[in-house]
């Protein structure tokens, strides 16, 4: 099995990051009593209480593999740098050829990475040494 970078989809990840579990959502996607947290205008939940019918099921894995390039941006806590790097990779592989998709993905990844930095706990080398 080959592993890819969870950020830019590049080959050969070298670092694994751990975050608190979180999901990106809006208030109509969770049960009424689920607390919605907001960081800088970004709605999300920190539980798995996504609504069974409306939830987009976007609970993120608490483990993220990163390639050398991405880990440099992450360790520097450089959200813009990380985002720019990933979008450049996606564009190079033709994923964002459509202007509409391009805009949506840019926004989605911006939100996702912001939450990632908020919930980031620690890093470790990957793969783990035997
Ligand atoms: Zn990467």
Distance 32 CA to ligand 1 centre (A): 37
Q: In this model, does residue 59 exceed pLDDT 90? A: no
Distance 124 CA to ligand 1 centre (A): 15
pLDDT digits (tens, 9 = 90+) for 63-89: 999 999 999 999 999 999 999 999 999
3-state class (DSSP) for residue 76:
coil
CA of 23 to the centre of ligand 1 (A): 21
| Alpha carbon of 55 to ligand 1 centroid (Å) | 28
Whole-number pLDDT of residue 31: 61
Could you state, in order of their start, the residue ranges of all structural domains in the chain? 15-123
Rounded to the nearest whole angstrom, what is the distance from the C-alpha of residue 52 to the centroid of ligand 1?
32
Tokens of 100: 């509409």
Q: Under 8 Å CB-to-CB from 74, ≥6 apart: which residues?
A: 7, 15, 17, 66, 82, 117, 120, 123
Measured in Å, residue 17 CA sits from the centre of ligand 1 at 12
3 state SS of 15:
strand
Q: Which residues on adjacent β-strands are paired with residue 128?
A: none
* Per-residue confidence (pLDDT) for residue 34, from 0 to 100: 66
For residue 130, the Cα-to-chain-centroid distance in whole angstroms is 28
pLDDT digits (tens, 9 = 90+) for 22-35: 776 655 556 666 66
**Which neighbouring-strand residues pair with 118?**
none
């Amino acid at each position: 099995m080959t592993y890819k970078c969870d950020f830019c989809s590049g080959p050969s990840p070298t670092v694994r990051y751990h975050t608190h579990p979180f999901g990106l959502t809006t208030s109509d996607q969770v049960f009424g009593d689920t607390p919605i947290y907001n960081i800088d205008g970004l709605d999300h939940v920190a539980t798995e209480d996504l609504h069974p019918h409306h939830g987009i099921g976007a609970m993120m894995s608490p483990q993220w593999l990163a390639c050398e390039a991405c880990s440099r941006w992450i360790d520097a806590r450089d959200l813009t740098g990380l985002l720019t790097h990933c979008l450049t990779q996606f564009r190079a592989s033709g994923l964002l050829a459509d202007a509409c998709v391009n805009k949506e993905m840019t926004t989605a990844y911006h939100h996702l990475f912001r939450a990632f930095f908020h919930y980031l706990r620690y890093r470790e080398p990957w793969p783990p040494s035997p």
